Amino acid sequence: MTKTLKNRRVRKKIVGIVTGTKMQKTIVVEVMRLIKHPTFGKYIKRSSMYKAHDENGIAKVGDKVEIIETRPISKTKSTRLLRIIEKAKQ
């Protein structure tokens, strides 16, 4: 058992904002990051959309959440909801 645990890689944790909850047990999380332009040195905003598994449907649009990598759950879903950091302001 210890041999398999040594080969296991560390799962990435990602923080983002929930932008969609229309699917069953799935949320769409937008992750914003800043990259530096190679020539001009100016910082540019880039975003990625992740589909995450939300078993109980507790996340709502606008919530700041933390998601973690998992095994593939479906064709496009390979992350799951770890926790809600901050609820959306209503």
Question: Which residues of the chain fall short of a pLDDT of 70?
Answer: 1-5
Beta strands in the chain (DSSP E): 13-20, 26-36, 43-53, 64-69, 77-86
Q: Domains (ranges, CATH) in the chain?
A: 10-86 (2.40.50.140)
Question: Per-residue pLDDT tens for 52-76?
Answer: 999 999 999 999 999 999 999 999 9
CB-CB contact of 18 with 65 (8 Å): yes
In this predicted structure, what is the pLDDT of residue 28? 98
